[in-house]
Amino acid sequence: MLDQAILAWKAVLGADHVVTDSGSLVAAGSATFKTTQRIPAIIRPQTRQEVQEVLRIATRFRTPVYPISGGKNWGYGSRVPVTDGCVLLDLSRMKRIVNFSEDQGYVTLEPGVTQGQLFDFLQERKSGLWMDATGSSREASMIGNTLERGFGHTPSGDHFSNVCGFEVVFPNGEVIETGAARFENGCAGEVYRPGLGPSLDGLFAQSNFGVVTRMTFWLMPAPEAFQAFFFRCDREDALPAIIDALRPLRLNGTLRSAIHVGNDYKVISGIQQYPWKETNGETPLSLELIRKFRKDMKFGAWNGSGALCGTDAQVRDGRRLVRAALAGKVDKLQFVNKRILALGSRFAGASKYLTGWDLSKTIELAKPLFGLLQGVPTDKPLTSVYWRKRTPIPKDMDPDRDGCGLQWVAPVAPLVGTNADELAKLSSEILLRHGFEPMLSYTLLTERAMICIISIGYDRDLPGEDDKATACYKELEAALDARGYMPYRLGIQSMGKMRMEGAYGELLRAIKRTVDPASILSPGRYLSEVDTTSDKALGQPCR
Amino acid sequence: MLDQAILAWKAVLGADHVVTDSGSLVAAGSATFKTTQRIPAIIRPQTRQEVQEVLRIATRFRTPVYPISGGKNWGYGSRVPVTDGCVLLDLSRMKRIVNFSEDQGYVTLEPGVTQGQLFDFLQERKSGLWMDATGSSREASMIGNTLERGFGHTPSGDHFSNVCGFEVVFPNGEVIETGAARFENGCAGEVYRPGLGPSLDGLFAQSNFGVVTRMTFWLMPAPEAFQAFFFRCDREDALPAIIDALRPLRLNGTLRSAIHVGNDYKVISGIQQYPWKETNGETPLSLELIRKFRKDMKFGAWNGSGALCGTDAQVRDGRRLVRAALAGKVDKLQFVNKRILALGSRFAGASKYLTGWDLSKTIELAKPLFGLLQGVPTDKPLTSVYWRKRTPIPKDMDPDRDGCGLQWVAPVAPLVGTNADELAKLSSEILLRHGFEPMLSYTLLTERAMICIISIGYDRDLPGEDDKATACYKELEAALDARGYMPYRLGIQSMGKMRMEGAYGELLRAIKRTVDPASILSPGRYLSEVDTTSDKALGQPCR
């Protein structure tokens, strides 16, 4: 059946866009952790009509396909399909920006459009609009990240809440548009999300119901005034107070952008690779040592970044409120504008002189963050994936190729200090015991919820590390479940956690049957029949 | 079958809660326009378990049921089912407030909880949180309004965007919870909407898939500072400039609450009943006369209301920006705080003295709006439904009982002046030609979209008026469709506009079959098989 499908696909796409050489297939099958899935082919349509044709063929020949936009889903499985034997449906050739309005603040994209491409597009037009970028790389797909409910650092940081008007191709070859966009001559397709009647947009996030071939992103006008702020706290027990102090500012709209708070391990992994010399090659990096690094390099046990956007007066007032909220809770709070940052990077002393805080060491980290807080995509955060490598970080980073080990666990919790604290203690104990540094970051994503990203970083080229990391991952996952911290997003190794029991699962299955009668689209992605967690979800709820 | 169902329902609910006396049934079957649907019974469960039982019985005996929360859906069909012979499933006894967090800003409600009940609940607790209220009445259901995508006047005015964690009973008797709420011991059910995997919340707005028996509403902290503003413009051609001037303030977050702009007819209908004397009993109220009233009563051709919320500094700065944006575009812009309003209502001169604008006539209108802008529910706007009645407005208003004629057409459009202008001209011409006053209000609901509410108001007790109004309604609807202005919400008389063709309709039908195998829930509501519009939707798009 596969051979017939491949022939048919070649007829539609041309032989160049049906890739079967083993080199490419093996590369596509490797992620930042151990995978065994084989990929028999990669097909690369360029238009929505080609996607329809390709899916009809897949359905006819019962050949499972697995769409990827940019394939940069590092830490969650990269480009690797959930199940074995899926053909990769690579949408990266669909790079059209099909609609744009400066006045109304939106842009309509295809899945191949990357963060970098959109940013350059806006720059060329000297647009006064900001996009939001996730801290992954310039090559990340706008649509791909949004469909996984990814997030960034600006007031539009919650990506899925700032899009509408999806064009979706069902596996059966049919096409729909969602919301107001489905009315042929309707005028609100790019601006009014729900349309009329039940809204379907939510069905296409974290699912395998259809291939999204078009999406409208809402862009915000660049604010009159912008100020980033960075804070650090040297006390390890200070996190709950910080989170509880920031919640009211999130709730009342003072902080409209997503604040990020990272621990010491997170910061150092962003500045440099593992300190093999200082540790005499021992892992994990001990608490004693990380404390020493904190002192020497002037970062805190907890380190925050955020931004104030608005008019001059609003930003000035925001500074007052942030200062007041964090007073006595952090050891250093620094508001940073372009001038300070420029000086800071020119020579170590300057920023210290200006700010009383030696930014020189953390400047490398601060700079790309300063950009991200304004929606400027960057490759810099990716360097942290090379944390445990003994080889230097290459110019053309490719974590999958370079054997960078990364597994992410990403629980969501209420924006409450005690929850942040429990997540930190629980994960730190488990990771250190398994021999990994607990790299934690908290994103205050909405007014009421935060997402905690826990990185398990390692060197895949060291024998046994993959298995060690996976054992750690599994224990951490189970422990979080038991405490009621469900993930906001899943890696391909734990799709079973979605849970499909009861009427909820029945409804999802019915939708799947309707749009994908041959179930050829991303089998096992989120909609999994295997529930690995239902028996584990015991223990006390986290509230 | 019905008789057996009624017996079974009585066994579950008790005879008191299965209403079959003709008086109640006739009352329940009357709306603010002509309806012929008969209602054979009203059943009134009090708990989710009873709802499940009641629906199982309906399924077993193939008896269609039509859930209402408050039944105050005036202008769209009140409590009347879309199709004939539906049993009314009255949820107004489900009045529990099941969860509340002052710190995290949310409250979890049952469908019987009214705006007034929630407001009183917050007052009793001296809560520092604001709810949002729609300008209907204190008796409107929070959940009912939200499921129809209703809106209000505060920064949380877009109701469906500020809720999560639905508990839904399917017609087959099964129950699900949506988003993070579906994880038994999960801790983010009230704060994180999407949960994990595809999000289903959108399916239950404007549909007939299930009975929502519980919902969490996000409440905002009362701002440190609040200022309402009212503006008026005497030039009839000023609307486009006003809309285009406000859009940037909506987009950049200066105006976080939903601005409302109404025309002269809308304003006078809010102040008084139809001026039968001045018109010698003639209708409609002519342009000449409305202009005269504008002069005498000091309101404009266009009249706006909005609010600034934030810190003192933010509100002060907001005033500057609103002033600058509307300078030269409006004839009067008045910022109003409690003091001015109090004085204004005490005696005519004071407010004029203070503000240079005689609020005395419009004070009656301004006062409840002032409250709505802070989420205070009010019955006042309901008086306008008695506009064309020759009898005085009763203390206990009941538009359905009192023969108040009201049909609403509610198109959505991009937040663009030319769209606002076209909507006004198109609808004014049609309404006046049919003998009705074009009462228009525009709500700048989101940063990019506005909803235009066009009221056709009349006296149902005058023979022939119902048919005249319906003819007008149909022509207006078709004209708006042809120009690409789709409704944001439907009355029971035009559910066909939802459109069920193609893969979109197929998917909705599949969902319906799964959750409602006997299709007993609200037949024809939004998911209608009759498409009355597909042939009419011609003409040029509105952009």
Q: How far is B104 from chain A (nearest CA, A)?
A: 6
Question: Do residues B21 and B27 touch, judged by C-beta distance below 8 A?
Answer: no
At A108-139, the pLDDT tens digits run 999 999 999 999 999 999 999 999 999 989 99
At A157-182, the pLDDT tens digits run 999 999 999 999 999 999 999 999 99
At A235-283, the pLDDT tens digits run 999 999 999 999 999 999 999 998 999 999 999 999 999 999 999 999 9
Distances from the Cα of A505 to the Cαs of A279, A478, A488, in angstroms? 49, 21, 18
Q: Do B192 and A504 touch (CB under 8 A)?
A: no
Question: Out of A360-364, B450-454, B519-523, which region has the weakest mean confidence (pLDDT)?
Answer: A360-364
Which residues of B are less than 8 Å from A245 in CB distance? none
Q: Do A537 and B185 touch (CB under 8 A)?
A: yes
Q: Is the pLDDT of residue A373 over 60?
A: yes
**CA A453 to mean position of chain CA atoms:** 9
**Chain B residue with minimal CA distance to A527?**
B197
> Which stretches does DSSP call E strand in A123-195?
129-130, 163-169, 175-177
Q: Do A503 and B490 touch (CB under 8 A)?
A: no
Structure tokens at A483: 């405490």
Which residues of A are less than 8 Å from B321 in CB distance? 311
What ranges in A14-100 are assigned the alpha helix state H? 22-28, 48-60
Quickly state the pLDDT bin for A533 (edges 50, 70, 90).
very low
Question: Do residues A68 and A80 touch, judged by C-beta distance below 8 A?
Answer: no
Is A203 an interface residue toward B (CB < 8 Å)? yes
Euclidean distance between CA atoms A112 and A265, whole angstroms: 34
Q: Is the pLDDT of residue A522 over 90?
A: yes
Question: Do residues A101 and A143 touch, judged by C-beta distance below 8 A?
Answer: no
Is B487 an interface residue toward A (CB < 8 Å)? yes
Q: Do A513 and B510 touch (CB under 8 A)?
A: yes
Provide the chain A residues 334-393 that lie in CB contact (below 8 A) with chain B.
Answer: none
State the residue for tokens 């609307």. B239
A–B: how many Cβ contacts below 8 A?
A: 289
> For chain A, what percent of residues have pLDDT higher than 90?
88
At B203-212, the pLDDT tens digits run 999 999 999 9
Is B226 an interface residue toward A (CB < 8 Å)? no
Is A184 an interface residue toward B (CB < 8 Å)? yes
Q: Do B251 and A105 touch (CB under 8 A)?
A: yes
Q: How far is A462 from chain B (nearest CA, A)?
A: 33
Question: Do residues A525 and A82 touch, judged by C-beta distance below 8 A?
Answer: yes
Q: How much is the pTM?
A: 0.95
Q: Over range A89-101, report the average pLDDT.
A: 98
Q: How far is A429 from chain B (nearest CA, A)?
A: 21
Q: Determine the pLDDT at residue A254.
A: 93
Distances from the Cα of B230 to the Cαs of B118, B145, B358, B366, in angstroms? 27, 26, 12, 8
Q: Over range B491-499, report the average pLDDT.
A: 89
State the residue for tokens 């011609």. B538
Mutation for B interface: A154, A169, A199, most B CBs within 10 A = A199
**CA A307 to mean position of chain CA atoms:** 19
Question: Do residues B52 and B173 touch, judged by C-beta distance below 8 A?
Answer: yes
Quickly state the pLDDT bin for B479 (edges 50, 70, 90).
very high
Structure tokens at A426: 């629980």
Q: Do B484 and A515 touch (CB under 8 A)?
A: no
Euclidean distance between CA atoms B84 and B64, whole angstroms: 9
ipTM confidence: 0.94
Q: Do B499 and A539 touch (CB under 8 A)?
A: no
Burial status of residue A339 (CB atoms within 10 A of its CB: 0-12, 13-18, 19 or more): exposed
Query: What's chain B's Rg over C-alpha atoms?
Result: 23
Q: Determine the pLDDT at residue A33.
A: 98
Q: Determine the pLDDT at residue A363.
A: 66
> Which stretches does DSSP call E strand in A234-301?
259-263
Which residues of B are less than 8 Å from A52 in CB distance? none
Is B531 an interface residue toward A (CB < 8 Å)? no
Quickly state the pLDDT bin for B339 (edges 50, 70, 90).
confident
Q: Do B176 and A507 touch (CB under 8 A)?
A: yes
Q: Determine the pLDDT at residue B364.
A: 66
Q: Is the pLDDT of residue B45 over 60?
A: yes
Question: Do residues B203 and A510 touch, judged by C-beta distance below 8 A?
Answer: no
Which of A194, A449, A538 faces B205 most closely, judged by CB atoms?
A194
Q: Is the pLDDT of residue B167 over 50?
A: yes
Is A220 an interface residue toward B (CB < 8 Å)? yes
Measured from the Cβ of residue A395, the count of other Cβ atoms closer than 10 Å reads: 6
Q: How far is B256 from chain A (nearest CA, A)?
A: 9
Which residues of A are less than 8 Å from B524 in CB distance? none
Q: Over range A3-7, report the average pLDDT.
A: 98
Q: Do A251 and B502 touch (CB under 8 A)?
A: no
Measured from the Cβ of residue B390, the count of other Cβ atoms closer than 10 Å reads: 12
Burial status of residue A328 (CB atoms within 10 A of its CB: 0-12, 13-18, 19 or more): exposed
Is A484 an interface residue toward B (CB < 8 Å)? yes
Q: Is the pLDDT of residue A348 over 60?
A: no
Q: Do A527 and B197 touch (CB under 8 A)?
A: yes
At A15-62, the pLDDT tens digits run 999 999 999 999 999 999 999 999 999 999 999 999 999 999 999 999
Is A543 an interface residue toward B (CB < 8 Å)? yes
What ranges in B464-528 are assigned the alpha helix state H? 465-482, 502-515
Which of B196, B314, B316 faces A206 most closely, judged by CB atoms?
B196
Listed residue (B116, B110, B114, B105) closest to B218, CA to CA? B105
How does the average pLDDT of chain A come out, rounded? Answer: 93
What ranges in B61-141 are assigned the alpha helix state H? 115-124
Which residues of A are less than 8 Å from B199 in CB distance? 202-203, 205
**Chain B residue with minimal CA distance to A484?**
B186
Listed residue (B331, B184, B398, B152) closest to B258, CA to CA? B152
Listed residue (B524, B522, B521, B509) closest to B55, CA to CA? B521
Q: How far is B121 from chain A (nearest CA, A)?
A: 21
How does the average pLDDT of chain B come out, rounded? Answer: 93
SS3 B502: helix
Is B314 an interface residue toward A (CB < 8 Å)? yes
**Chain A residue with minimal CA distance to B103?**
A248
Provide the chain A residues 83-122 that lie in CB contact (below 8 A) with chain B.
Answer: 103-106
**Chain B residue with minimal CA distance to A178?**
B504
**Chain A residue with minimal CA distance to B450?**
A192
Which of A220, A314, A499 faces B314 most closely, judged by CB atoms?
A314
Euclidean distance between CA atoms B136 and A116, whole angstroms: 47
Q: Is the pLDDT of residue A106 over 80?
A: yes
CB-based contacts of A501: which residues, under 8 Å, 6+ apart?
A: A531, A534
Which residues of B are less than 8 Å from A180 in CB distance? 412, 486
Q: Determine the pLDDT at residue B222.
A: 97
Q: Do A223 and B186 touch (CB under 8 A)?
A: no
Q: Over range A84-107, report the average pLDDT.
A: 98
Q: Do B253 and A251 touch (CB under 8 A)?
A: no
Burial status of residue A12 (CB atoms within 10 A of its CB: 0-12, 13-18, 19 or more): middle
State the residue for tokens 């540094």. A437
Q: Do A251 and B511 touch (CB under 8 A)?
A: no
Q: Determine the pLDDT at residue B528.
A: 82
HEC string of A282-336 equals: CCCCCHHHHHHHHHHHCCCCEEEEEEEEECHHHHHHHHHHHHHHHCCCCCEEEEE
Q: Over range A355-382, report the average pLDDT.
A: 78
Which residues of B are less than 8 Å from A501 in CB distance? none
Q: Do B256 and A253 touch (CB under 8 A)?
A: yes
Distances from the Cα of B323 to the Cαs of B20, B261, B309, B330, in angstroms? 58, 16, 16, 10
Is B203 an interface residue toward A (CB < 8 Å)? yes
**Chain A residue with minimal CA distance to B169?**
A503
Is B525 an interface residue toward A (CB < 8 Å)? no
Phi-psi region of B298 (alpha: psi -120 to 50; beta: other; left: phi over 0): left
Q: How far is A351 from chain B (nearest CA, A)?
A: 30
- Asked if residue B414 has a cis previous peptide bond (ω within 30° of 0), the answer is no
